[in-house]
Structure 1
């Protein structure tokens, strides 16, 4: 299939196969998996953020009827190996943790003991009876405290709380700073989030003592890596562990790692020789599962008077929490490496610090690099404000255009087959910028604050093995697939991914159908079972389409080649030239048209399996084909978001009047699924930017441990999301797939901040910290002084600050939000 040849099945908006079982209540989630006699567990969690464990008294809890046992970190240390992360990365400290804490707890919600009972309610009652003698320690509640010279150590094995520190420089940013017409500084603070999946974490472990084999039922995004971690930590061979993932009610990155609770449940099942299950409640999920984000950035842009950025410097500090389930530099490194994204910036330097604090540990959350586009686009807007220029023109003068491709970024990352300038122009035209500026000027006269944001995103989607090797992180980016045709002609296929709501089964069926030459309805995709699926790296980032769909597409083409070789023999042809499989029928090219041969896929399959002596020479029996594929080091897609808002000066209430995305994510497997992913990502980004926030007090107490405190946007708070498709294929990936799913979050965070600051421009204030809640925006409005709406702006077409129109100073005394 060439780029000029239309696909038959790829790109068709087929309804999701999964929806039938989901909408009729026939989905099979973890709680639907029943094993007779399964015990229930409940974890005892620390009320302190930082404290020594002097002793744990479990006797009263053990005596409660129905309790099978109560176990502590010392017990688990005898059954499991500790987790050690020590990749050979300069500036990254090795870290190690036991399955449960033994000597001290490090955050509010740290699990210190586990109760096993015949009933969940009994287990929870017994957990209340476990007495833990704590000796509270000083709390490290933020990065400033963590980096202080006399800071208490979060991890006593480390010399300080700076767990990772890397610096980089390309070109000569210092020289660019010295030569610049202006150096513009901008600050950005993205707050702590958590994933809030509809289905919280849980697992069901079943140990078969006779076979010495563990079956682990768990909603995981990466079944094979999960199997490997379980086997290693339990001292088992991988053949002794099967991971089975049922339907998953959302993951967003929270269901990748093997967490301590899940390992504990597996160890208990083996120790007790009984099935053991666990389901966390919402409070546990919000306090103890995994958090994300909490990143502070400062940029310094060296610029010419026309807005051209000649050099850029980044300082980034990330609060990683108390424990490292991933290499601590992982997320922050990606932010720094791709920061310059859609712009031509050759002289670039970064300094990245990752810090431990007494909070729940961080991990990847949909778009781990979420802050990237806000930082870059916010820097562009800061340059425009400081120089009194049109922010669109500043973007244009710095943007990468078609003639710049392929473009090697300062960090060595290569951008190709992306269209940042084209999506920018499409978004500007789609939002009708000129009309908006006229409406904005009229609104300001009436005391109304309208704002427009633009955010161009270059999204890293698929990380190949070469990326991990270059980053010094152990692991692979490859994916594996098999396509198996049964003797009846039925098509089964599998890949190492696991869906958690994305709708994989339909687009992956389309990829197989396209490569093989059958209808998508004839393909059954099998996911999430390590004894069935080939060893793959699972679902993370936006690799599902490129790595998963691309590998299946290539594997299906390989299967088709064997089908046609057998068909050629059945038709007494010397080779397969002029043959194809189309909708399950073998056709031959005759007189410039495809003609039926009378052979079906079922005919060929029967020959392959049931009459192998009649196969052509060199063709082996059966139709079972496997293939592995390693994507390029990095694959990118891109988009530009445009957003119009109105801010109520009296209350700080924010209304999103219009939201538009010009998107280029390459060849689209299924536009219905892709549109859902685009809209879902934008919704998640807006929810996080406007409402969601994990809040800790100075003592490390989590104050946002319920859904009454941790607010998530509903359809009532979200706008209609317009999509302008501008897809161009990637020439180095199967079928031209680029991937997408996380860029919508990056764009939403950046564009809403830009829109809010555009609305605030007449008041001389800038929002530098999220979330952009009504309280935060009202505080900014109060700090702005007297707004005089009746005064006309001298240049309503640009987001500059004319001190003659305002009751407060303009660019010489801008006020910012550092809260």
Structure 2
């Protein structure tokens, strides 16, 4: 992992992250660090009720308070902004519409009621408390069961029911496989509602220039250009009237993708008041009302042969989408269903998806939206092993794809190629000493101690090219765009449409440019997060940063190199550039099979290109400025295998993780330091969620977990060291062989940990079917089976 990737000089080097210096010395620049003279501060009054009609809002007392500039309601803001229509033409998906602020009904505790703008945040918050609201409280719909019940109160009054999406799919004949099976095994998996908890909560600052009729919008967002498009559409502006600037961002994890109602309101107020307006939510608001994720239940039915081979698999997935739809309601559940079978040979497969609205905060993608996929699949295999009395590793081996099976077309039509599931599985099995562990486990049980070992194999979807969205019926693009500009002195500036939220993009993306161009990485500067500077791209989401962003920059740099060498050939009086290359910024020429210095470098070419264009070859324009758009394959996949060893305390129910091993194949590694950090962070996030994170709502729809005293997060003290085995093989379908890997660690951690706990619980005949694996939950499982 410390050497450059095979065949590359810059890609694969373990260079320190450039961002770290400013972030660790306190000189980073976040939205709150941007000084805006005369800026007003916005705060939002939020509903204390989960479901209620707004009968009246009295803002007079608040408006009369010192320093208060404006108090606006939903009806005010509706005059300045358009309605969000979430209505892609997807079969089984119900179209929805959302005003910027509610007009007459709130749908969850923490929903927006009105906005107060004052000369400082303290006055704005004091004034918000003075607003008087008259509510008619309505019955809440706190969960899917209540939402889908006959005669349930409607979350969205414009819809016929609370069912937001319903889709069916079948390949092969699962009913026939069930009839001919040796056994039919059913299993259930319930993932709890969670939220993202970025270090930096949501916030923005809007500056309206009345003279130029131009909006500058400072915001921490993962997709600057799509955000600008949404702002333009909702504010009835052209995109040329808006500049979105994203400075350093303190974490996103998917929470900072949508254009939220608060951000749109702030922008509209800046235009209306003709003064800068800024907003920053507090932690309670973030936990209560920013964006939630995950809450879904999966039931599987596996028709199996005597040796544990899966003949047919049926999936029923139900997802609680909360009160509002910022994303297509079927999107997350469909990705889970689409790739569920993962690295296993299953041709007869069906699924049913049901998504419902409830009186909770709306749901969106969170790092690995398909997080429960691998837990459901490998957990089903473990259920098969329990039912048939087989070893869980043997069941995996009999079902797993082999190298000779690849490329393999999954039942859903997805194509798996250039992955190594069997190799990564055997690597972690060997690393943990599977047979030796079974011996230790038996000895420990004789002593009253309960050890468990869980395995989980992951196939992680990465590129999300435009054809994937097209086939899924989701509007939008998966392309990425890049530009590379070589300045007159030979230094290199480059940009791409991504925006980092802490991943460390600046260094590996510079390495991709340096490799493609043929210069040292130190010579390249990456500019991100400004829509006036960066080309229009689809931003950061999924694991597409390296595959789409790095791929676009690498290809653009290759294009630049070809041009540079054409000019160099002319300078060297050569007829062709075929025998030239650029290495560390110097032109080399191959003579008699040996590469030798040609006596000129990139700086010499740049000087001619800019300052002496008459010396350029005929037909070559002055300057060295290049752009390129890249649409990656519809989908590519990376893969990994996870092994987790735990010990469960039978008296307290506490789960202690003793060892964690990952074998990872994510293709060509741009920077091993950054990749390792992403692997560690993803596994940590998965373990934290599986162990302790949960958003709690009571039967009336009240959020009981809106502080960090109630919403628990794992710390370094709760997590083990992660042993990572690199087994990377390049993709043949992406530039430089990049695959991506930012989310697979979450997927594998959930499955490996839960499977390990169930292995430890085997003597009690208990199975953990829901998350989190809290001590009270585990203790209850054991107590019921002693």
CA deviation string 1:693-750 (max 9, x = no partner) = 0000000000000000001110000110000000000001000000011000000000
Q: What is the CA deviation profile of residues 85-125 of structure 1, one whole-angstrom value per residue up to 9, with x for unaligned ones?
A: 11111110000000000110000000110000001000000
Distance 1:669 1:762 in 2: 45
Distance 2:113 2:213 in 1: 28
Within a 5 Å distance, the mapping from 1:131-530 to structure 2 comes to: 131-530=132-531
* 1:112 equivalent in structure 2: 113
Deviations 1:153-196 (A, max 9, x none): 00111110010000000000000001111000000000000000
Does 2:539 match 1:538?
yes
| Structure 2 Cα separation of the partners of residues 689 and 349 of structure 1 | 27
Q: Distance in 2 between matches of 1:314 and 1:744?
A: 23
Matching of residues 706-785 of structure 1 within 5 Å: 706-785=707-786
Q: Aligned partners of 1:5 and 1:49: how far apart in 2?
A: 57
Shift of 1:5: 5.9
Q: Which runs of 4+ in 1 moved over 6 A?
A: none
Shift of residue 591, structure 1, vs aligned partner: 3.1
Contact 2:5 2:669 in 1 (8 A): no
- Distance in 2 between the 1:606 and 1:713 partners? 54
Residue 634 of structure 2 aligns with which residue? 633
Q: Which residue of 2 aligns with 1:691?
A: 692
In the alignment, does 2:596 pair up with 1:565?
no
Please give the secondary structure, in 2, of the residue aligned with 1:340.
Answer: coil
Q: Distance in 2 between matches of 1:462 and 1:284?
A: 33
User: How far is the alpha carbon of 1:461 from its aligned partner?
Assistant: 1.1
Give, in angstroms, the shift of residue 621 of structure 1. 1.0
C-alpha distance in 1, partners of 2:360/2:562?
55
Question: Is the contact between residue 67 and residue 119 of structure 2 (CA under 8 Å) also seen in structure 1?
Answer: yes
| Cα deviations by residue, 1:670-703 (Å, 9 ceiling, x for unpaired) | 0110000000000000000001100000000000
Q: Does 1:703 find its partner at 2:704?
A: yes
SS of 1:634's equivalent?
coil
Q: Secondary structure at the match of 2:79?
A: helix
Report the alpha carbon displacement of residue 25 of structure 1 after superposing the two structures with TM.
1.0
The alignment partner of 1:248 has SS state of coil
CA shift, 1:4, in A, is: 10
* 1:548-587 paired onto structure 2 within 5 Å: 548-587=549-588
> Which deviations, in whole Å up to 9, do the C-alpha atoms of 1:104-151 show, x marking residues without a partner?
000000011000000100000000000111100000000000000110
- How big is each residue's C-alpha offset from its partner over 1:754-783, in whole Å with a ceiling of 9 and x where there is no partner? 000000001001000100011111111111
Pairing 1:22-61 to 2, within 5 Å after superposition:
22-61=23-62
- Scaled by the length of structure 2, what TM-score is found? 0.99
- Structure 1 residue 612, shift from structure 2 partner: 1.2
Cα distance in 1 between the residues matched to 2:139 and 2:396: 47
* CA distance in structure 2 between the partners assigned to 1:23 and 1:367 by the alignment: 27
Kindly state the Cα deviation for residue 593 of structure 1 after the two structures are TM-superposed.
2.1
State the SS of the aligned residue for 2:289.
helix
Deviations 1:259-301 (A, max 9, x none): 0000000000000000000000000000000000000010000
Distance 1:496 1:321 in 2: 30
What's the CA shift for 1:618?
Answer: 1.9
User: Structure 1 301/585 Cα, relative in aligned 2: closer, same or farther at 3 Å?
Assistant: same
Q: Deviations over 1:606-642 (max 9, x none)?
A: 1111111211112111100000110111010000000
Contact residue 344 and residue 401 of structure 2 kept, 8 A: yes
Matched residue SS, 2:350 = strand
Rate the CA distance shift 1:663–1:5 in 2: closer, same or farther, 3 A: closer
Task: For structure 2, list consecutive stretches of 5 or more residues without a partner in the other structure.
Answer: none
CA distance in 2 between counterparts of 1:177 and 1:708 reads 48
> Helix, strand or coil: the match of 2:294?
strand
Q: Tell me by how many angstroms 1:199 deviates.
A: 0.2
* Counterpart Cα distance in 1 of 2:469 and 2:56: 42
| Distance across 2 between alignment mates of 1:166 and 1:399 | 28
Q: Is the counterpart of residue 623 in structure 1 residue 609 in structure 2? A: no
Corresponding position of 1:95: 96
Shift of 1:592: 2.6
Q: Quick check: 2:483–2:496 contact (8 Å CA) kept in 1?
A: yes
Cα displacement string for residues 362-396 of structure 1 (whole angstroms, at most 9, x for unaligned residues): 00000000010000000000000000001001000
* Contact 2:5–2:11 under 8 Å retained in 1: no
Deviation digits for residues 5-30 of structure 1 (CA, Å, limit 9, x no counterpart): 61001011111111111111110111
Q: Per-residue deviation at 1:594? A: 1.6
Verify the 8 A CA contact 2:246 2:529 in the aligned structure 1: yes
Q: Distance in 2 between matches of 1:176 and 1:535?
A: 48
Q: Could you tell me which residue of structure 1 aligns to residue 653 of structure 2? A: 652
> What SS does the aligned partner of 1:770 have?
coil
SS at match of 1:128: helix
CA–CA separation in structure 2 for the residues paired with 1:608 and 1:5 = 33
Secondary structure of the structure 1 residue equivalent to 2:660: strand
Partners of 1:403 and 1:770 lie apart in 2 by 37
Partners of 2:463 and 2:548 within 8 A in 1 = yes
The 1:498–1:4 alpha-carbon spacing in structure 2 relative to 1, beyond 3 Å, is closer
**3-state secondary structure, aligned to 1:411:** coil
**CA-based RMSD:** 0.8
Question: For this pair of structures, how many residues does the alignment match?
Answer: 783
3-state DSSP class of the match of 1:484? strand
Query: Residues 334-386 of structure 1, C-alpha deviation per residue, up to 9 Å, x if partnerless?
Result: 00000000100000000000010000000000000001000000000000000
Taking the aligned partners of 2:39 and 2:417, their CA distance within structure 1 comes to: 53
SS in 1 for 2:354: strand
SS at match of 1:203: strand
